[in-house]
């Protein structure tokens, strides 16, 4: 049996697997977990576990990760000391795990948002949730992790410049994560509030947009333009001829609000490389548990000796 632990900035999902078949899953509030070694010891007690694979929202180095949005840390060496009965323990970045899920996702869970003419090559992945994650998968199936969500936000019109000025006053440095995440949507909306108006949550903004409120629709429009431009940049960065995948817990919640024609127009607006981007398909990962599936796939490789933790 395999245990995967998908640790995000908001929630942690523990899933037990037999191969790629889910047996049981449990959700927890990430910030409520004070010690991950104690937490995992409780999870595996009384179970025959062959491998644990952790997918965490933060940069991984030497088997150690510090969660970007909570500050909590996880060290695979400490976990092995605490859990000597578990033969294999690995820690991945959550976007690495998402990359390993791509070959195993059913077509119904990854609809096309933009058609294209894909060729054998690299695929780019971006994930929107509590934060913004970026990775890529080579044609050989190697997943390349990154911290691309923390690149400098580059506005492309007057409204985006207003967002940048607003956020600079708060944060100084403004990354794409400040505008392409749950809080990012709230940040965009807040940049246009009138005096006396209260900031809104992402849920309030999306609900208002569904009711056709003009201000909320403007925020969604700006969000879509920034997302499309950033996705196009990633397609060029990775030469993603195999496509771009949009994932993360936020995507299913706003998918119906995204204007596909607007997205395609902005995505391909890259001057001399417009023709290349017109051929790049964009698919949406609607399975919020895809990182767990990818972690399970990686753990399977561990148990067969294909990968080393």
Predicted pLDDT of residue 19: 81
Q: Rounded CA gap, 126 and 31, in Å?
A: 24
Question: Largest Cα–Cα distance in the chain?
Answer: 61
Sheet containing 60-61, strands listed edge to edge, beginning at the edge strand earlier in sequence: 60-61, 64-66, 73-75
Is-contact 126 239, C-beta < 8 A? Answer: no
Q: Is the dihedral of CA 276, 100, 146, 148 positive or negative?
A: positive
- Residue of 63, 83, 85, 88 lying closest to 73 (CA atoms): 63
Domain with CATH 3.40.367.20 in the chain: 106-284
pLDDT tens profile 255-273 = 999 999 999 999 999 999 9
pLDDT band, residue 309 (cuts 50/70/90): low
Q: Which residue has the higher pLDDT, 305 or 117?
A: 117
Predicted pLDDT of residue 307: 60
Q: What is the mean pLDDT of residues 299-306?
A: 79
In CATH, 106-284 is 3.30.390.50 = no
pLDDT band, residue 81 (cuts 50/70/90): very high
Domain range 2-97+289-304, CATH class:
alpha beta
Q: What is the mean pLDDT of residues 194-213?
A: 95
User: CA angle, corner 119, sides to 298 and 20, nearest 5?
Assistant: 25
Rounded to 5 degrees, what are φ and ψ at 171? -115, -15
Which residues are registered as beta bridge partners of 2? 17, 51
pLDDT band, residue 109 (cuts 50/70/90): confident
pLDDT band, residue 216 (cuts 50/70/90): very high
Predicted TM-score (pTM) of this structure: 0.89
Residue count of the chain, please give it.
309
Q: What is the mean pLDDT of residues 76-88?
A: 93
Rounded to 5 degrees, what are φ and ψ at 65? -140, 140
- CA-based end-to-end distance of the chain: 17
Q: What is the mean pLDDT of residues 212-228?
A: 98
Q: What is the mean pLDDT of residues 114-131?
A: 95
CB burial readout 114-133, b (16+ within 10 A) else e = bebeeeeebbbbbbbbbbbb
CB neighbour list of residue 150: distance below 8 Å, 6 or more residues apart: 175, 176, 177
Domain with CATH 3.30.420.40 in the chain: 2-97+289-304
Torsion-angle region of 301 (φ positive above 0: left; ψ -120 to 50: alpha; else: beta): alpha
Predicted pLDDT of residue 9: 85
Distance of CA 282 to the CA centre of its chain: 15
């Amino acid at each position: 049996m395999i245990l995967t632990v998908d640790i995000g900035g908001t929630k942690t999902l523990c899933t037990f697997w037999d191969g790629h078949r889910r047996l049981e899953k449990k959700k927890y509030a990430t910030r409520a977990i004070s010690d991950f070694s104690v937490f995992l010891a409780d999870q595996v007690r009384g179970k025959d576990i062959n491998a644990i694979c952790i997918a965490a929202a933060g940069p991984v180095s030497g088997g150690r990760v510090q969660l970007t949005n909570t500050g909590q840390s996880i060290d695979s060496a400490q976990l092995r000391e605490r859990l000597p009965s578990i033969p294999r323990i690995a820690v991945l970045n959550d976007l690495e795990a998402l990359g390993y899920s791509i070959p195993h996702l059913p077509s119904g869970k990854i609809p096309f948002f933009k058609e294209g003419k894909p060729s054998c090559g690299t695929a780019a992945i971006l994930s929107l949730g509590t934060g913004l994650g970026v990775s890529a998968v080579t044609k050989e199936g190697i997943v390349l992790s990154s911290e691309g969500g923390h690149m400098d936000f580059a506005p492309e019109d007057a409204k985006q410049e207003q967002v940048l000025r607003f956020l600079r006053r708060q944060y100084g440095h403004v990354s794409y994560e400040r505008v392409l995440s749950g809080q990012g949507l709230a940040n965009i909306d807040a940049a246009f509030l009138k005096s006396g108006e209260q900031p809104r949550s992402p849920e309030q903004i999306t609900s208002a947009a569904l009711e056709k409120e003009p201000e909320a629709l403007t925020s969604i429009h700006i969000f879509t333009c920034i997302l499309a431009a950033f996705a196009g940049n990633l397609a060029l960065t990775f030469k993603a001829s195999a496509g771009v995948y949009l994932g993360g817990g936020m995507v299913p919640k706003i998918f119906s609000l995204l204007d596909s024609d607007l997205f395609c127009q902005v995505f391909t607006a890259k001057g001399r490389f417009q023709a290349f981007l017109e051929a790049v398909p964009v698919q949406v990962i609607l399975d919020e548990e895809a990182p767990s599936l990818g972690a399970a796939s990686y753990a399977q490789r561990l148990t067969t000796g294909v990968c080393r933790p």
